[in-house]
Chains A and B, each alone.
Chain A
Amino acid sequence: MESSSFVPPRFDIFEIYRRYCDIMSRAYEFGNERCLPNEEYQSAKFSREALSQLLELVESKSQIRFSVFEEIYKLMMRLDLRADFSEFSRFYDFIFFICRENGQKNITVSRAIMTWRLVLAGRFQLLNQWCSFVEKNQRHNISADTWRQVLAFSRCVQDNLEGYDPEGAWPVLIDDFVDHMYRIGCNDTHNSLCSCCDSDERSFTDSLPGLK
């Protein structure tokens, strides 16, 4: 038996989060040190396996599944997310991880919307419009990529959609959302589209190694 399957007496959300951070930073270290494509692939495979083991453990040993939103809220209260964006970004990714069900790769629309409303409150100026748009228009589940890109999107657009670049490799759902916003005419200054604020994102990724 590997150490990760050892279950401490208090296997609560904090413990799960701690292990999650552990796996992620180890994967990051791995990827940083060795750059051979094969190694990279190995590292990705390793972390994927570790994460699915953790998820299995969560599903079998803990009860938090039934009250995931409360648990997330508890965790959110405990963590100091205001100060450090990289910490928040990891927490955000963790939410996707914990919300996945039965080994699925994506999460349901309703779950996604609920958690967005919870964790992005005050961080995303178009949160309300976004959630109601997704509720009405998205029938498929939310993929990991879309989930992550929503965070990047929330950081780079203002409430008038300034900062959105139509060529900016956004997921189709986000493109559709922006189209929708233009159509309902929420903004009148969309002529000043500029590329998104790369500097912010840089600082967040650059600061990751410091968290080891």
Chain B
Amino acid sequence: MMNSSNQKKKNFQIEAFKHKVVVDPKFADKTWKILEHAIHEIYNHNASGLSFEELYRNAYNMVLHKFGEKLYSGLVATMTFHLQDMAKSIEAAQGGSFLEELNRKWTDHNKALQMIRDILMYMDRTFIQTNHKTPVHELGLNLWRDNVIHSSKIQTRLLDTLLELIFRERTGEVINRGLMRNVIKMLMDLGPLVYQEDFENPFLKVSADFYRAESQEFIECCDCGDYLKKAERRLNEEIERVSQYLDAKSETKITNVVEEEMIASHMLRLVHMDNSGLVNMLIDDKYEDLGRMYNLFRRVPNGLLTIREVMTSHLRETGKQLVTDPEKLKDPVEFVQCLLNEKDKYDKIINLAFSNDKTFQNALNSSFEFFINLNPRSPEFISLFVDEKLRKGLKGVSEEDVETILDKVMMLFRYLQEKDVFEKYYKQHLAKRLLSGKTVSDDAERSLIVKLKTECGYQFTSKLEGMFTDMKTSQDTMQGFYSAYGAELGDSPTLVVQVLTTGSWPTQSSITCNLPAEMSALCEKFRSYYLGTHTGRRLSWQTNMGTADLKAIFGKGQKHELNVSTYQMCVLMLFNTTDRLSYRDIEQATEIPSADLKRCLQSLACVKGKNVLRKEPMSKDIGEEDVFFVNDKFTSKFYKVKIGTVVAQKESEPEKQETRQRVEEDRKPQIEAAIVRIMKSRRVLDHNNIIAEVTKQLQSRFLANPGEIKKRIESLIERDFLERDSADRRLYRYLA
């Protein structure tokens, strides 16, 4: 085309070579006869004498000379003839040989078909495509389907035989899986429709009937665990069957049938089965059964939901019983230990049986949160548990184990709604531990504080940390004091002062009692030393919190070292100068508050093995008319005698009320601060949103009561921090 403009080409015309082909009028018939004969020979296993080249050429010529149609219809007729023949021989096969015969004929047909297709390849490529006929191979399959598989005498017999064999295999017999595989494969080769209609659908239906009946039988006679084992085995058998001789696509279908019949329709009955259902499995820690239940139920809709709901309600129920059991309330340490055990138990179940399923963990957490807060004393008890552990429970326990215990406690702490109540108690207990020198491990103490800090922020623990700082500073102060005055103090008693910052420590209104003369002189020295180095401070003595070590020599010269409280020391020192003292004398001399004095005298005179004093009359309680004197006959196998004070470990009822009230008071400014913070950023907000946001902000510390929030809002309105919107009374406005 490019050069057509400048160079004209001469057009040559080449005449086609005209070769007159004279067609033999009998050409088509003759050629077809040859081919037909060849097809017969192929089906008769006599193909070795045929020439592929010759047959191919003949077929080629027929198509070329427009006899394709004749060839095609001839092929259909010949093949049909042979297939009908085959069908007859298959029908005639007796009993067990039926499938084998069918399989054999199928193999034969396939081989024949392969050869025929090769011979007729030219027709396949041209004639069939232009005339939209069925290709040879497919045609062969269709003819097989219509003449053999769908022949009235074979169709139902084939299906029945297959289903019968599967049934026999299900009941434990061994069947010829290879044959099964071939026959099923044949059905699959005939197209998905044939496989489904002639086998799969009836198979699924029969299976459903089978498993429905079987599950009915099992559920009547098995316990839950056994039933699940059987169901699991059946499920695995079906999966194996599919892999052995069915279409892979059938797997989900048949497992659905088993799941539906064996699990879904009996789910509730299984879960609630008497003596062996889910609750019993949970109680008895049947990890294997639980795991099986989880894996089976996971397959059906709402299966896991059912397990989770039953587990949750069981947990809540047992948890509620646990936290409200009056027996358990007697021992806080035991109470918390029970909670921890319960948590461990379910953690293990979820880990081993429920594959650490997040939804189950959430259910566990929410259940714990639910019942722990049912008991308002939970915060106190958890703090007491820590107290117990940090006092003595951790002796000889490795550092890692200590961490584990503390981590577990923190987990319970996280469930608490009233974290501020915990803080209150924790502070009290920590103060006692620190001041009495009872803490076992400073590292453990600090580790827990760090954990609390990461959980609740630094303001939660700042006071607690302040307490530690005070302890450290006090040590330094005492060193300074003794290096300054050590020489002139001579052999006077040793004084250890802990200077506590007001505010950091739990406040206890205390009346300073009268100290023995030698002590009060020493205390005065310390006071002047301390105030000399720190101006502008005030010291007051908390004699109710101190301890003392006394050396005592009794009647027959027994020497003992007595470890007592400051109050007890004050009482005992009185007996250095006199033999007998009445209750009133002691009260007057020491000015110890009477409730404390009674408790302290009780532990000095009434506890067996520690009664360094005697009293008249002898009785369990201290009366105002009692008279006391030194117990000369006091003996103890220990040199050091620790005299405890009779104290209630748990809080008494009025103390509890007081703590509660203090907590409520402390919450007010926190709620107000939260309201102001929120309103400052939002300027205008409606009532319900304020309540919601305040609750959310304070959640990490306590659950704010909406009524209390409302009161705080009113108070803020009165103090002109907020005002109500003049148009919409539900809107609050922040006033700068």
**Total A-B residue pairs with C-beta atoms closer than 8 Å?**
45
- Closest CB in chain A relative to B81 CB, distance in Å: 86
Question: Contact between B717 and A143 (Cβ–Cβ < 8 Å)?
Answer: yes
- Closest CB in chain A relative to B162 CB, distance in Å: 66
Q: Which of A62-70, A76-84, A168-176, A184-192 contacts B (4 or more CB under 8 A)?
A: A168-176
Residue among B688, B723, B729 making CB contact with A152, cutoff 8 Å: B729
A41 to chain B: which residues have CB within 8 Å? 735-736
The yes or no answer to B727 lying at the interface (CB within 8 A) is: yes
Question: Contact between B730 and A169 (Cβ–Cβ < 8 Å)?
Answer: yes
3 cross-chain pairs, A with B, having the tightest CB-CB distances, nearest first? A169-B687, A169-B730, A143-B718
Question: Contact between A37 and B730 (Cβ–Cβ < 8 Å)?
Answer: no
The yes or no answer to B683 lying at the interface (CB within 8 A) is: yes
The yes or no answer to A101 lying at the interface (CB within 8 A) is: no
Q: Given A37-B683, A44-B735, decide whether A106 and B718 contact each other with a Cβ distance below 8 A.
A: yes
Using an 8 Å CB-CB cutoff, how does the interface string of B698-724 with A read, 1 for contact, 0 for none?
000000000100110010011000011
CA distance A105 to B728 in the complex (A): 23
- Closest CB in chain A relative to B676 CB, distance in Å: 16
CA distance A148 to B714 in the complex (A): 12
CA distance A105 to B729 in the complex (A): 20
Question: Contact between A172 and B730 (Cβ–Cβ < 8 Å)?
Answer: no
Question: Contact between A143 and B729 (Cβ–Cβ < 8 Å)?
Answer: no
Question: Contact between A144 and B718 (Cβ–Cβ < 8 Å)?
Answer: yes
Residue among A38, A149, A205 making CB contact with B726, cutoff 8 Å: A205
Question: Contact between A105 and B710 (Cβ–Cβ < 8 Å)?
Answer: no
23 A–B pairs (Cβ distance < 8 Å), ordered by A: A37-B683, A37-B736, A38-B736, A41-B735, A41-B736, A44-B723, A44-B735, A143-B714, A143-B717, A145-B724, A148-B724, A149-B724, A149-B729, A167-B688, A169-B729, A172-B714, A175-B707, A175-B710, A201-B727, A201-B729, A202-B727, A205-B726, A205-B727
CA distance A145 to B687 in the complex (A): 14
A205 to chain B: which residues have CB within 8 Å? 726-727
B724 to chain A: which residues have CB within 8 Å? 145, 148-149
B687 to chain A: which residues have CB within 8 Å? 167-169
Question: Contact between B717 and A145 (Cβ–Cβ < 8 Å)?
Answer: yes
Q: A-side binding surface: helix, strand, loop or mixed? A: helix
The yes or no answer to A146 lying at the interface (CB within 8 A) is: yes
A201 to chain B: which residues have CB within 8 Å? 727, 729
CA distance A184 to B666 in the complex (A): 34
CA distance A175 to B728 in the complex (A): 18
A168 to chain B: which residues have CB within 8 Å? 687, 730
A38 to chain B: which residues have CB within 8 Å? 736
Using an 8 Å CB-CB cutoff, how does the interface string of A4-30 with B read, 1 for contact, 0 for none?
000000000000000000000000000
Question: Contact between B714 and A171 (Cβ–Cβ < 8 Å)?
Answer: yes
Q: Given A145-B718, A202-B727, decide whether A172 and B736 contact each other with a Cβ distance below 8 A.
A: no
- Closest CB in chain A relative to B736 CB, distance in Å: 5
B714 to chain A: which residues have CB within 8 Å? 143, 145-146, 171-172
CA distance A99 to B729 in the complex (A): 23
CA distance A185 to B728 in the complex (A): 31
- Closest CB in chain A relative to B521 CB, distance in Å: 51
CA distance A133 to B236 in the complex (A): 74
Question: Contact between A172 and B735 (Cβ–Cβ < 8 Å)?
Answer: no
Which of A146, A168, A169, A205 has the largest count of B CB atoms less than 10 A from its CB?
A: A169
B727 to chain A: which residues have CB within 8 Å? 201-202, 205
